[in-house]
């Protein structure tokens, strides 16, 4: 079935008790998880939403047929997406989170005592509610008094936000198709740059180095052109395609010190509850394979191939 043939149906990817992530975005390969029970399947205003209990990775959230998060390995993504940018800031107080409807990045952001307010803008309220019900340990800080949840378009929010409003922006988006497509544009990053305070940092879901070299190049060279630094950091998430995903980090000029985000600017508190992130993991994330380093050091970027929406067959 192709996306043009009718509405997406994530449950059709369950075959003989296994969820098989067959997807035209990464042809020739598929990740699979054994399903114990389907907990929720519905069509939201924006996407197909599936939650199931797996036999080895806990509860799993799937959007438009693509695994977004599992209870077992979510720490790698959530902790790095939140702490890479926040520990790259001297004392972040105002933080904007766009996307991340499961609440995991918000959970990590509020661990920083210096953070005074988190504006959380998620386009799909059904994802937030599903996560409250089926991923409670991940969405546990969704109602924290520091957090203001706005169900709406993060791109429009950034367009209308005041200049120099935020110390850090975290863009926890899905892949660049469907609701997240507008988050992968030069215009969005120019707005993000405008609303960051001097020395502020943006951290965005940066896709996979094994499959998305051109997009990573575009994010670093084109979207990152307005920033004083634009860098790619790598993290390991077993249930994502190839077991790897990245983060794009850019710093606005005007802050103290070197613009690079490679080294934490604050010590990690001994009492901060962390299972993946550390100062050593922070620095190591920026060590990239030679082929990607050479790509990023070249002068020009090629327009990334436009992602096709999910296609699958039931055979």
Separation of CA 44 from chain center:
20
Greatest distance between any 2 Cα atoms in the chain: 57
Helices (H), the chain: 74-86, 104-109, 125-134, 154-160, 186-195, 213-221, 279-284, 290-297
Residues in the chain: 315
Catalytic residue, chosen from 64, 73, 172, 212, is 172
Question: How far apart are the C-alpha atoms of 264 and 90, rounded to whole Å?
Answer: 9
Q: How far is CA 140 from its chain centroid?
A: 18
166's enclosing H/E stretch is: strand 166-172
Identify which of 104, 110, 24, 113 has the alpha carbon closest to the alpha carbon of residue 68.
104
Establish whether 172 is a catalytic residue.
yes
Write the CB contacts of 231 (distance below 8 Å, at least 6 apart in sequence): 220, 248, 249, 250, 260, 261, 262, 286
| CA-to-CA separations, 303 to 13, 16, 216, 234, in angstroms, rounded | 31, 40, 10, 22
Is the four-CA dihedral 12, 245, 188, 164 of positive or negative sign? positive
The token duo for 294 is 């050479």
Residue 8 near residue 297 (C-beta atoms within 8 A): no
**Residues annotated as part of the active site:** 172
């Amino acid at each position: 079935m192709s996306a043009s043939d009718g509405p997406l149906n994530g449950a059709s990817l369950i075959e003989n008790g296994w969820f098989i992530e067959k997807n035209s975005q990464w042809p020739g390969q598929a990740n699979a998880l054994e399903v114990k029970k389907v907990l929720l399947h519905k069509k939201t205003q924006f996407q197909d939403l599936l939650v199931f209990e797996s036999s080895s990775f806990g509860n799993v959230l799937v959007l438009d047929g693509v695994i977004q998060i599992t209870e077992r390995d979510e720490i790698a993504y959530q902790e790095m997406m939140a702490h890479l940018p926040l520990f790259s800031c001297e004392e972040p107080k105002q933080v904007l989170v766009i996307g991340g409807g499961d609440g995991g990045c918000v959970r990590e952001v509020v661990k920083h005592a210096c953070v005074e307010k988190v504006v959380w803008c998620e386009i799909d309220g059904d994802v937030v509610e599903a996560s409250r019900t089926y991923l409670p340990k991940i969405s546990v800080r969704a109602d924290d008094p520091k957090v203001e949840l706005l169900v709406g378009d993060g791109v429009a929010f950034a367009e209308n936000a005041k200049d120099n409003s935020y110390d850090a922006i975290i863009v926890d988006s899905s892949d660049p198709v469907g609701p997240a497509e507008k988050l992968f544009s030069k215009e969005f990053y120019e707005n993000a740059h405008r609303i960051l305070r001097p020395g502020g940092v943006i951290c965005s879901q940066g896709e996979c180095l094994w499959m998305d070299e051109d997009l990573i190049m575009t994010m670093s060279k084109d979207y990152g052109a307005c920033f004083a630094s634009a860098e790619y950091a790598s993290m390991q998430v077993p249930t994502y395609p190839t077991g790897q995903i990245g983060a794009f980090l850019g710093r606005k000029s005007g802050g103290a010190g070197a613009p690079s985000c490679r080294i934490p600017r604050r010590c990690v508190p001994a009492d901060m509850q962390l299972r993946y992130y550390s100062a050593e993991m922070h620095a190591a994330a920026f060590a990239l394979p030679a082929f990607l380093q050479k790509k990023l050091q070249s002068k020009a970027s090629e327009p990334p191939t436009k992602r096709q929406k999910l296609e699958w067959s039931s055979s």
